[in-house]
Amino acid sequence: MSNFHPLSLSQQVAKHLQGEILRGRWTEVMPGKPYLATELGVNHQTVDGALQQLEREGWLVAQGAGRSRRIAQLGEAGSGRPVRVALLVWSPADRSWTYVVDLQHRLAEAGHVSFHTPKTLLELNMDVGRIAKMVARTQADAWVVVCASAEVLAWFARQKTPTFALFGGGWRGLPIAAAGPDCQAAIKEGTESLLKLGHRRIAMLIRRQHRQPIMGQLPKSFLTALAAYGIPASPYVLPDWVETPAGFQQCLTSLFQVTPPTGLLVDEPELFAATQHFLATRGLRVPQDFSLIFLGHEQVFEWCVPTVTRLQQDFSQLVPRILRWANHVSQGKRDLRQRGFPTQFIPGGTVAPPPVATRPTPESKLAPPLTRRDELPQVPASTREPRPGRTSLARLRTKNMRTPKPRISRT
């Protein structure tokens, strides 16, 4: 109990007013002492003590006798006040993501306030126009945007409000603070692990935001590794689909319709789980009949036996980096540093050589392509042999014809 320090009434009022400022109730000037005293049910001396405390802490700026105190803006000399950080994540499920929850706790410990936006990027369909309208309606001092597309991040980079890009594609080169996995070497190693085992029909299933309009690090490294083995980029190795559960199932069905792949690299847990279920319904065993690599790190896959072949990132410095950025924003410092976190390829029990029938011949690195029906050699009709058990129409007609009996004259 030695560390317990009860707050005085004026300190409690100051803390309440600070919370109201953070919530955006007052943005320009503070109400006067009579208004606040009436609203809070305290005397004028208590309100005056609370306002003076907020002045000392840099939240308010005095403007002279008889004038209301002005609310200090971010970066104003001596303010260094906490900031309201809006969290715009990819999907509703990401709000409970371990790193996002930890970030909110660490921001609160530092005196900042964080909150989730009413809608996520997925619910806004990654549409820049809809995102801009939501941002205009949101009172925030800074933004943390999770897994946004290059187009969305380019829009945030043009705004005055500081933004931190967490993961996503296309933030490299933009004037925006950012952090994400540096996975070029790991993707190359994972793709080559399939190629060296004999796989040639390999595809990557990753959302459109990583492929269009600017190709991200994941697909670019994947295509580079394939090109080294003579496999060109095509819609087969990097398919597009309507980003709904039904659209993803249609994409898988199309892939397996004519020339099924023997290995897939799949991003995001929900896509990986849907792929596993699709393979199971077709009777394909992993890894005996099919190989899978997960392009991320989820603790749930560490419980799988055999373990899932995957990428693993070290994000131990991720939350501290965002916290330092938020502190710099509160002090008015411009912080546009970008950091890539190392990524490792972790071999597991979901990768094996392809089935014998699909392995390439020793003479070629590439598996022989299937021959289309229109490319089959055409045999002249005069040299075709009749099919066994098939009787020609002429023979049927001869067989069915009756020979007329000679007429006998009775005369």
Tell me the two tokens of residue 315: 């994000």
> Alpha-carbon distance 166 to 177, whole Å?
9
> Alpha-carbon distance 19 to 25, whole Å?
9
Residues 118 and 189 placed together within one structural domain of the fold = no
Report which of 132, 106, 346, 360 is spatially closest to residue 229, judged by C-alpha positions. 360
346 in Cβ contact with 298 (< 8 Å): no
Residues 150 and 279 placed together within one structural domain of the fold = no
Query: Could you count the other beta carbons within 10 Å of the beta carbon of residue 12?
Result: 15
Residues 195 and 156 placed together within one structural domain of the fold = no
Q: Write the CATH number for 42.
A: 1.10.10.10
Residues 215 and 351 placed together within one structural domain of the fold = yes
pLDDT for position 363:
45
Residues 232 and 353 placed together within one structural domain of the fold = yes
Q: What tens digit of pLDDT does each residue of 210-229 get? A: 888 778 888 999 999 999 99
Q: Hey, CA dihedral for 249, 313, 183, 344, is it positive or negative?
A: negative
Report which of 131, 138, 123 is spatially closest to residue 154, judged by C-alpha positions. 131
pLDDT for position 403:
53
Residues 210 and 353 placed together within one structural domain of the fold = yes
Residues 218 and 352 placed together within one structural domain of the fold = yes
Report which of 311, 82, 132, 174 is spatially closest to residue 165, judged by C-alpha positions. 174
Classify residue 378: in a domain, yes or no: no
Residues 236 and 354 placed together within one structural domain of the fold = yes
Residues 176 and 197 placed together within one structural domain of the fold = no
Would you call 111 exposed, middle or buried from its count of C-beta atoms within 10 A (0-12, 13-18, 19+)?
middle
Classify residue 370: in a domain, yes or no: no
Residues 190 and 159 placed together within one structural domain of the fold = no
Tell me the residue type at 397: R
147 in Cβ contact with 166 (< 8 Å): yes
Residues 192 and 303 placed together within one structural domain of the fold = yes
Report which of 81, 72, 80, 85 is spatially closest to residue 163, judged by C-alpha positions. 85
Query: Could you count the other beta carbons within 10 Å of the beta carbon of residue 245?
Result: 11
Classify residue 314: in a domain, yes or no: no
Strands (E), 185-294: 202-205, 263-266, 291-294
Please state the domain count of the chain. Answer: 3
Domain end, chosen from 180, 204, 235, is at 180
Residues 107 and 147 placed together within one structural domain of the fold = yes
Classify residue 329: in a domain, yes or no: no
pLDDT for position 300:
77
pLDDT for position 234:
94
144 in Cβ contact with 85 (< 8 Å): yes
pLDDT for position 330:
87
State pTM to two decimals: 0.67
Cβ contacts of 92-97, under 8 Å, gap ≥ 24: 92/120, 92/122, 92/123, 94/120, 94/146, 94/147, 95/120
Query: Could you count the other beta carbons within 10 Å of the beta carbon of residue 18?
Result: 20
Domain end, chosen from 180, 196, 212, is at 180
pLDDT for position 401:
52
Classify residue 320: in a domain, yes or no: no
Strands (E), 235-368: 263-266, 291-294, 310-313, 338-346
Classify residue 32: in a domain, yes or no: yes
Tell me the residue type at 78: G
Classify residue 290: in a domain, yes or no: yes
Q: Write the CATH number for 255.
A: 3.40.50.2300
> Alpha-carbon distance 21 to 232, whole Å?
57
What count of Cα atoms within 13 Å lies in the side-chain half-sphere of residue 182?
9
Classify residue 78: in a domain, yes or no: no
Give the chain's residues under pLDDT 50: 1-2, 75, 77-79, 363-377, 379-386, 388-394, 396, 398-399, 411
End-to-end CA distance of the chain: 146
Domain end, chosen from 42, 71, 100, is at 71
Would you call 291 exposed, middle or buried from its count of C-beta atoms within 10 A (0-12, 13-18, 19+)?
buried
Tell me the residue type at 8: S
> Alpha-carbon distance 14 to 46, whole Å?
9
Which residue carries 């597009």 as its tokens? 240
Domain hosting residue 64, numbered range: 9-71
Which residue carries 């897939």 as its tokens? 264
